[in-house]
């Protein structure tokens, strides 16, 4: 049983690792002046590709649910993340976003009536502390709009992922990802046209960058993430999501030559320890054999 549990944890981990890699790809390959079109070009092709594979359109209430979840997890999320990235130091933004691990535990309790385990709460707290140490938090200049955007993105996606668990128990992960990516893109597309005008021209480097974030960091990542939400509790999935900033730090060191000192070592160790603790499966109590209690 535990082997299957950890297998689902590892599959879920594909998503935050892929999302963590987008920092390096976005910074080095994608056009920085078109964040809204970047979100559309990332999510819409991925959603259409998955929809072509799934060959299943929404029915009934899933038409409006797909739009709601698409806004929470894709369209609105991308916009708020861009605002936060422009207005906040990366360390503060990463620390605020990493609180989604605790936020998903809370919303799972409120919306699904799943009381969080003590190990999950402690694991989330240890992981969050590790992110803060790893990045360092510069609060000398705090932009309130940036903080609001970061917290808004964190709360929106946390609610969206928990609602995905609540509503989507009978929808395969691949189908769920396709509906939400297309729904979120359709909401994001008008904003991109109105704010940024025509889409940016593609170069060889930006084309390769969009190919990566579309196929790996969006299509594959969202399917893996929604698979985790079907097989694991939202709280565990949120804690596994702490691999996102760890991946960003590791790739920053390997590719961009960013510094990796004692604070990063301690921070990464705490995050990985928090994930291991928080993602541990719930142990079932063994029942004593009847003959063992007969006097």
- Secondary structure of the chain as H, E, C letters: CHHHHHHHHHHHHHHHHHHHHHHHHHHHHCCCCCHHHHHHHHHHHHHHHHHHHHCCCCCCCHHHHHHHHHHHHHHHHHHHHHHHHHHCCHHHHHHHHHCHHHHHHHHHHHHHCCCCCHHHHHHHHHHHHHHHHHHCCCCCCCCHHHHHHHHHHHHHHHHHHHHHHHHCCCCCHHHHHHHHHHHHHHHHHHHHHHHHCCCCCCCHHHHHHHHHHHHHHHHHHHHHHHHHHHHCCHHHHHHHCCHHHHHHHHHHHHHHCCCCCHHHHHHHHHHHHHHHHHCCCCCCCCCCCHHHHCC
116 vs 2: which has the higher pLDDT: 116
Question: Looking at the predicted structure, is the pLDDT value of residue 295 above 50?
Answer: no
87 vs 225: which has the higher pLDDT: 225
Please enumerate in sequence order all residues whose Cβ is within 8 A of that of 217, keeping only pairs 6 or more positions apart, or say none.
18, 19, 21, 22, 25, 42
Range 177-203 average pLDDT: 92
Range 89-109 average pLDDT: 79
- For the chain, the average pLDDT equals 85
pLDDT of residue 68: 94
CA 237 – CA 226 distance, rounded (Å): 9
Confidence of residue 294 (pLDDT cuts 50, 70, 90): very low
Question: Looking at the predicted structure, is the pLDDT value of residue 33 above 60?
Answer: yes
């Amino acid at each position: 049983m535990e082997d299957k549990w950890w297998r689902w944890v590892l599959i879920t981990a594909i998503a935050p690792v892929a999302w963590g890699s987008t920092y390096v790809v976005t910074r080095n390959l994608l056009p920085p002046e078109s964040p809204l079109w970047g979100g559309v070009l990332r999510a819409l092709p991925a959603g259409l590709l998955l929809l072509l594979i799934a060959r299943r359109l929404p029915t009934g209430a899933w038409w409006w649910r797909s739009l709601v979840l698409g806004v929470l997890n894709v369209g609105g999320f991308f916009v708020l993340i861009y605002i936060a990235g422009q207005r906040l130091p990366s360390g503060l933004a990463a620390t605020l976003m990493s609180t989604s691990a605790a936020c998903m535990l809370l919303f799972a309790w409120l919306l699904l009536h799943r009381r969080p385990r003590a190990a999950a709460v402690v694991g989330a707290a240890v992981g969050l502390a590790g992110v803060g140490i790893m990045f360092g938090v510069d609060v000398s200049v705090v932009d309130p709009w940036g903080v609001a955007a970061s917290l808004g993105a964190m709360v929106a996606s946390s609610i969206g992922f928990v609602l995905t668990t609540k509503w989507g128990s009978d929808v395969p992960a691949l189908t769920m990802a396709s509906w939400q990516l297309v729904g979120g893109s359709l909401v994001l597309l008008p904003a991109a046209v109105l704010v940024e005008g025509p889409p940016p021209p593609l170069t060889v480097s930006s084309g390769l960058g969009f190919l990566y974030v579309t196929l790996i960091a969006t299509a594959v990542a969202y399917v893996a993430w929604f698979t985790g939400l079907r097989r694991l509790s939202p709280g565990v999935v949120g804690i596994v999501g702490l691999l996102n900033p760890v991946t960003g730090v590791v790739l920053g060191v390997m590719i961009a030559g960013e510094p990796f000192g004692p604070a990063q070592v301690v921070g990464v160790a705490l995050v990985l320890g928090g994930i291991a603790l928080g993602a541990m499966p719930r142990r079932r109590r063994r029942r004593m054999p009847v003959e063992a209690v007969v006097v």
